[in-house]
Structure 1
Amino acid sequence: MTIGSHLREFHDLPVVQFPDSVKGPEGTGRLPAPGEVAWSVAVDSYDSDEAWEDAFARFLSAIDTTRVRALVVGAWNEAYDSGPERVIEALVAAKDRLPALRALFLGDIVMEECEISWINQGDVGPLLTAFTELEEFGVRGGQGLVFPALRHERLRKLTVETGGMPVEAVRGVAASDLPALVHLDLWLGTSEYGGDSEVADLAPILAGTRLPSLRHLALRNSEMQDDICTALASAPVVARLEVLDVSMGVLTDDGATALLTGQPLTHLTTLDLHHNYLSSAIRDRLRDSLEAEGVQVDVDPDDADSDEDDDGTVWRFVAVGE
């Protein structure tokens, strides 16, 4: 599976693409009210006639940005070869013109523009430092991603989508103080695409000591999904979760069994295990054990796709890699 569609909704708002030009039929008279949509600003990743910073400058001139609540950064110039440093600089420089901004997504880039593992990212720390009122932040792409340990008082939802999340970025998230964070979603990916973390790097998240408000935890799209589930089986953070998401990864009967035989999960509203490599017996056991207690169990009726070599070696894959 790859990412083939841009965000349609962000921060509970419909996403609207800021047009290439604010003249003619796509002029300001056709644009929606500034605070009623999530604005997406993007340029062509290949051979664009306009730099992303110039498109953003047009956006700042055409829209009453004091009312903008959500902003999506789409493709910048040659995202497959260049990081978003100038994008981040432009956003930080405009912070006083975006006082109502509560949600920011960096890198809504689809496969036709740049595969997720090819997206060059950068240091997102300045964005979270500058926009102190953000309630939601998302970023796509792991190559070059830097997420320093930081404190943010307002952030309620954090999403990091990668085909391989660098260990230092994982450790940075885990070491951050995010007292208001309710929803954490990390796509950890594979070592082939730079995902070099281990379960031990998630220890502060599993302990929950820096995330007192966390209710929705997604540690997914990982080749170490079984090890993650084994750790979650006794992790203190699970006791106060409502949603636990271990989907999209290489989850086998070993990991699912560890979850089932570990601490109680009947307090959850949802356990998401879609895209898995589970036997029918374990799938049935999950449903029988938890659905009777009111837990919604999202589990595929069949295994995810795998490959087998001539020598019998079976290869299993995360949902989103390259």
Structure 2
Amino acid sequence: MTINEHLTEFAGKPVRGFRYERDGESSDDHHRPAAAGTPAAPGDVAWRVGTWFDGPSFGDVLQAFLDEVDTAAVTHLVIGYWGASYDATDAVGPVGRLVQAAGQLPALRALFLGDIVLEESEISWIEQSDVTPLFEAFPGLERLEVRGSEGLGLRPVHSRALRTLRFESGGLPAAVVRAVGESDLPALEHLDLWLGTDDYGGDATTADLAGILGGERLPALAHLGLEDARIADEVAAAVASAPVVARLTSLSLAMGALTDRGAESLLSGQSLIHLDRLDLHHHFLGDAMVERVRAALPGVEVDLEQQEKPEDDWFYVAVSE
């Protein structure tokens, strides 16, 4: 699976690309705004801000956005391509720029960092940084989604506002996984981690998931996604006895290398019949196990689409490079 299209909707609002013009060249020449027309108010849409190959620095585009839009009313922001380090277009990365601009974005509640598609960068090449300062600069942030994990960092945070946290990657660093589990997030309802593979920096083990699976710091969690994992069988075994699962309404182990061994662990562990939904799509279960899982969970919406076959005994995840 590859990510080929920019977001058209984010957190319930249509995405509108900020139009940046320079020397007769417009951002429209490189990517069309996802939502056409003029919004009734700046807060009606999720604004997408980004540059392009051989384009202006991300800092210049962001500054133009801050100058031209009533950003005091902006609640949803999508950050697109900001250039690669070898471009040397901007010494300060997107997190630093956003932190500097925090005073001009007092109403920001939802942020997507890295709406970058395949033609701009492979997901494993997206150069992130420590995102912890975002929580300090935007204490009212209710939703944070991050794509890419090269250089990604996170320290344990405390947020009473955060309700959704998602990391999309081909390989999520163990330190980031541990930091999530060590964070105090009493309002967090939705957590998605694309664990990926160790080939692309996904070095987390089930031990690194202990803080999340224990659930002590996540009292409001309703959805947990531990996805795109090469170690999906080990994750399934850990989930089978995890205290946090009893509180969930939705669980996803999708997009990974789940086999009959992992499914057997799920069926042999704690009951999952309280779930509304179990997402296992993109898996390596045999036909008999698929039927066993369905039969064991009557009343649960179970997604078992994308039944894969290993390639020369290679069990692959949906998103890696």
Matched residue type, 1:64: D
- Structure 1 match to 2:162: 155
Whether 2:18 is the aligned partner of 1:14: answer no
Do the aligned partners of residues 115 and 79 (structure 1) sit closer, same or farther apart at CA in structure 2, a change above 3 Å counting? Answer: farther
Whether 2:272 is the aligned partner of 1:250: answer no
CA distance in structure 2 between the aligned counterparts of 1:77 and 1:177, rounded to whole angstroms: 33
Checking the alignment, whether the CA contact within 8 Å between 2:153 and 2:176 is kept in structure 1 is yes
The structural deviation recorded for 1:96 is: 1.6
- Structure 2 match to 1:94: 101
- Structure 1 match to 2:271: 264
- CA deviations 1:214-259 (Å, max 9, x no partner) are 0000001010000000001010000000000000000000111111
- Structure 2 match to 1:187: 194
**Structure 1: 5+ residue stretches without partners:** 309-313
- CA deviations 1:189-210 (Å, max 9, x no partner) are 0000011111000001000011
- Secondary structure of the equivalent of 1:219? strand
Checking the alignment, whether the CA contact within 8 Å between 1:80 and 1:119 is kept in structure 2 is no
Matched residue type, 2:79: V
- CA deviations 1:158-180 (Å, max 9, x no partner) are 00011001111111111111110
Do the aligned partners of residues 74 and 167 (structure 1) sit closer, same or farther apart at CA in structure 2, a change above 3 Å counting? Answer: same
Checking the alignment, whether the CA contact within 8 Å between 1:84 and 1:121 is kept in structure 2 is no
Q: Which aligned pairs between 1:272-311 and structure 2 lie closer than 5 A?
A: 272-290=279-297, 292=298, 294-300=299-305, 303-308=307-312
Q: 1:71 aligns with which of 54, 73, 77?
A: 77
CA distance in structure 1 between the aligned counterparts of 2:214 and 2:8, rounded to whole angstroms: 34
The structural deviation recorded for 1:268 is: 0.3
Checking the alignment, whether the CA contact within 8 Å between 2:213 and 2:243 is kept in structure 1 is yes
Moved over 4 A (4+): 22-26, 79-85
- Structure 2 match to 1:39: 47
The structural deviation recorded for 1:84 is: 8.6
Identity of aligned residues (%): 50
Do the aligned partners of residues 182 and 129 (structure 1) sit closer, same or farther apart at CA in structure 2, a change above 3 Å counting? Answer: same
- CA deviations 1:272-296 (Å, max 9, x no partner) are 0000000111111111121x2x210
CA distance in structure 1 between the aligned counterparts of 2:96 and 2:236, rounded to whole angstroms: 39
The structural deviation recorded for 1:100 is: 1.2
Q: Which moved more, 1:65-74 or 1:92-101?
A: 92-101
Q: 1:170 aligns with which of 170, 177, 195?
A: 177
- Structure 2 match to 1:241: 248
CA distance in structure 2 between the aligned counterparts of 1:139 and 1:80, rounded to whole angstroms: 21
The structural deviation recorded for 1:80 is: 7.4
- Across the aligned residues of Structure 1 and Structure 2, the Cα RMSD in angstroms comes to 2.0
- Structure 1 match to 2:316: 317
CA distance in structure 2 between the aligned counterparts of 1:84 and 1:150, rounded to whole angstroms: 26
CA distance in structure 1 between the aligned counterparts of 2:231 and 2:3, rounded to whole angstroms: 21
Do the aligned partners of residues 84 and 303 (structure 1) sit closer, same or farther apart at CA in structure 2, a change above 3 Å counting? Answer: farther
CA distance in structure 2 between the aligned counterparts of 1:320 and 1:68, rounded to whole angstroms: 32
TM-score using structure 1 length: 0.92
**Structure 2: 5+ residue stretches without partners:** 29-35
Count of aligned pairs: 310
- Structure 2 match to 1:51: 57
Checking the alignment, whether the CA contact within 8 Å between 1:149 and 1:172 is kept in structure 2 is yes
CA distance in structure 2 between the aligned counterparts of 1:172 and 1:295, rounded to whole angstroms: 31
Checking the alignment, whether the CA contact within 8 Å between 1:155 and 1:181 is kept in structure 2 is yes
CA distance in structure 1 between the aligned counterparts of 2:69 and 2:223, rounded to whole angstroms: 34
- Structure 2 match to 1:311: none
Whether 2:1 is the aligned partner of 1:5: answer no
Q: 2:239 aligns with which of 224, 228, 232?
A: 232
CA distance in structure 2 between the aligned counterparts of 1:79 and 1:128, rounded to whole angstroms: 24
Whether 2:229 is the aligned partner of 1:222: answer yes
CA distance in structure 2 between the aligned counterparts of 1:234 and 1:166, rounded to whole angstroms: 24
- Secondary structure of the equivalent of 2:155? coil
Matched residue type, 1:136: R
Do the aligned partners of residues 166 and 81 (structure 1) sit closer, same or farther apart at CA in structure 2, a change above 3 Å counting? Answer: farther
- Secondary structure of the equivalent of 1:282? helix
The structural deviation recorded for 1:86 is: 2.8
